[in-house]
């Protein structure tokens, strides 16, 4: 049986011709392409919006972002002092948990 060089077999074997792809439609300019069409956004009932607004006030990142917003634009959803207080309290809580974990040696191999 004669030896067959695999490289020669691969070079001589051709894949079946595929049909040509149809041309792509022209792309609109970046200013004409909305990220989200307003018509596709479902209507929000006032009760649902109020619930999600109150839920977002439990997130300390809301107050951090609102503080930056006040610093840059001079507008905020809540008082800047309230934002500063919530961020300060969050800092103290997270720092105390971190110090406690360091003192107890949690998950530190010894």
Q: What local confidence, expressed as pLDDT, does residue 86 receive?
A: 95
Q: What local confidence, expressed as pLDDT, does residue 49 receive?
A: 80
In a domain? residue 36: no
Q: What local confidence, expressed as pLDDT, does residue 68 receive?
A: 93
| CA 49 – CA 37 distance, rounded (Å) | 20
Q: What local confidence, expressed as pLDDT, does residue 16 receive?
A: 66
In a domain? residue 26: no
Q: Which domain, by its residues, includes 60?
A: 44-110
pLDDT tens over the chain, length 110 residues: 566 666 666 556 566 677 888 887 777 665 665 666 666 777 777 788 888 888 888 999 999 999 999 999 999 999 999 999 999 999 999 999 999 998 998 877 76
In a domain? residue 80: yes
How many structural domains compose the chain? 1
In a domain? residue 8: no
In a domain? residue 105: yes
Question: Which of 87, 46, 50 lies closest to 68 in space, CA to CA?
Answer: 87
pTM equals 0.55
In a domain? residue 51: yes
DSSP 58: T
| CA 88 – CA 78 distance, rounded (Å) | 15
Which residue do the tokens 């067959």 mark? 4
In a domain? residue 55: yes
Asked whether the beta carbons of 83 and 64 are under 8 A apart, the reply is: yes
In a domain? residue 6: no
């Amino acid at each position: 049986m004669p030896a067959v060089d695999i490289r020669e077999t691969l070079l001589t074997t051709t894949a079946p011709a595929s049909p040509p792809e149809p041309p792509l439609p022209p792309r609109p300019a970046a200013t004409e392409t909305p990220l989200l069409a307003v018509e596709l956004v479902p209507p929000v009932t006032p009760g649902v919006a109020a619930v999600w607004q109150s839920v977002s006030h439990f997130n300390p990142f809301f107050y951090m972002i609102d503080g930056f917003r006040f610093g840059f634009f001079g507008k905020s959803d809540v008082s800047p002092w309230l934002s500063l207080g919530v961020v300060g309290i969050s800092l103290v809580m997270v720092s105390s948990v971190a110090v406690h974990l360091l003192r107890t040696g949690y998950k530190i191999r010894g």
